[in-house]
Amino acid sequence: MAASYSVKILLIEDNLAEARLLQEFLKQAQTKEFSLVHVQRLRDAFSELSQQIYDVILLDLTLPDSQGLSSLPLLISHAPSTPIVVLTNTNDEELAIEAVRQGAQDYLVKRQVNPDVLVRSVRYAIERKQVLEQLRTVNQALETRVEERTAELVKAKEINQFKSEFVSMLSHDIRNPLNTILLAAGLLQNSDEKLTKEKKVNHLRMIRSAIKNMAQLLDEVSFIGKADSGKLHSQLSQIDLEAFCHQTLEELHLTALDKQVTIEFTSFGDFKDTLWDESLLRHILENLLSNAIKYSHPGSKVKFELISQDKTVTFRVQDSGIGISKHDQKRLFQPFNRGENVGSISGTGMGLAIVKKCVEAHGGEISVDSQVGVGTTFTVILPLIKM
């Protein structure tokens, strides 16, 4: 024999006689077993709803602490999943219909209520509310899916646009050195007898430089592609970090000397027995220091700090060069992105994108603080891994 199910009803009615009559009607019902709790005030109903869940609420629209429809939205906010049947007098039927429009599941005119009408209204209200809740759940799931799909389409559009821009910029940057090679090679081929030895050497130097620039550009593009495909991983080995920084500065000494820029290096902390990826570190430091030198004014100073803490190491490169505008900082780490104020200073716009990828592959973070005409400071924080 199946277990009986008790329908829990919360009756909100200030008239005791009508409340007893409704309770008697429920006792006479043969189809279901009902459990009714009666309160006379709206505030008491809120207290009941906070303590247990009811299957249906019977609500009188004329209460001492709430008149008309004002009690309906308050009840719905306290128990949004519980169906509500409003109780009204004969001359308030229009009010009851408006209550149904605003969220009640049904209404009963008190003088027309009998056991069958009451039970049928309670049952229909519960079933109707369940259907509405199911529809609401389905609608929410559909809305979420539509939002997710829309986001996917927007992302795909952004990726396609970026790929298009990437190819366009790559083609543009390769075309310049190619034109240089073609021009110089054409002069060597067509005017060989007229050219002096010095001019021939100069043209060959231009060709070699253009080839070197193209090779560098393709290497950088390949590096970005490798990082984006998830193939860039750190390979740790023991490195004397302070000595590594000195070595990097030594390699950039002639570049700084040619630009008349002084590099001031300071280190703080213990760097012994630590593990690093030499290739990733080299990309990070060479790009940041090269940029600092490149965009500094002749006769200025670049500060390079190495700071070791308990769990992290910080690299800070500060220059007093041309600076980066707030607008350019938004796309600073995207490939081929260069500041509007770089003028004739050469560059591919790939360096900082590579730095960002290397920092992420090393599990670190990079930030920038810059002001046009004042200078730029890049801060890289990497996790400290000890042997």
Q: What is the pLDDT of residue 68?
A: 79
Q: pLDDT tens string for the chain (387 positions)?
A: 344 567 889 999 988 988 899 888 888 876 668 888 999 998 999 999 889 889 999 998 888 888 778 888 888 888 888 999 988 886 777 887 888 888 888 888 888 888 888 888 888 888 888 887 787 788 788 888 888 888 877 776 766 665 655 565 566 566 667 777 887 788 787 777 777 888 888 878 888 877 876 776 677 677 776 666 666 677 888 888 999 999 999 988 888 998 899 999 999 988 777 888 888 898 899 889 989 999 999 999 999 999 998 889 999 999 998 999 998 888 888 877 777 778 777 766 778 888 898 898 888 999 999 999 899 999 999 998 877
DSSP-derived letter for residue 103 is T
Spatial CA neighbour of 87 closest among 104, 110, 64: 110
Contact 359, 382 (CB under 8 A): yes
Residue-by-residue DSSP string for 299-360: T-EEEEEEEE-SSEEEEEEEE-SS---HHHHTTTTSTT---TT-TT----S-HHHHHHHHHH
d(CA 110, CA 22): 9
3-state secondary structure of 38: strand
| 287 Cβ contact list (under 8 Å, min separation 6) | 351, 352, 354, 355
Q: Which amino acid is at 358?
A: C
What DSSP character marks residue 386? B
- Residue type, position 311, single letter: K
Q: Residues 336, 170: contact at Cβ < 8 Å? A: yes
Measured between alpha carbons, how far is 127 from 106 in angstroms, rounded to an integer?
A: 11
The values of phi and psi at residue 36, to 5°, are -115, 135
Give the pLDDT confidence score for residue 1 in this predicted structure. Answer: 36
Q: Which helix (H) or strand (E) element contains residue 381?
A: strand 375-383
E-assigned strand segments in 61-186: 62-63, 66-67, 84-88, 106-109
**Residue 3's pLDDT is what?**
44
Token pair of 322, please?
């041309």
| 53 to 60, 83, 232: CA distances (angstroms) | 19, 11, 55
Q: Express the helix, strand and coil content of the chain in percent, nearest 5 each.
A: 55, 20, 25
State residue 96's pLDDT score: 79
Q: Phi, psi (5° rounding) for residue 384?
A: -90, 120
Those residues with Cβ within 8 angstroms of residue 197's Cβ, 6 or more apart along the chain or in another chain = none
Compute the distance between CA of residue 385 and CA of residue 380 in angstroms, rounded to an integer: 15
In 3D space, the residue among 387, 380, 385, 384 whose CA is nearest the CA of residue 309 turns out to be 384
For residue 269, the model assigns a pLDDT of: 87
The per-residue pLDDT for 307 is: 93
d(CA 73, CA 68): 11
* Residue 27 identity: K
* Beta bridge mates, 383: 312
* Beta-bridge partner residues of 376: 319, 370
Which residue, among 305, 298, 285, 270, has the nearest Cα to 352 in the 3D structure?
285
- The dihedral built from the CA positions of residue 239, 241, 245 and 246, taken in this order, carries a sign that is negative
What CA–CA distance (Å, rounded) separates 62 from 69? 9
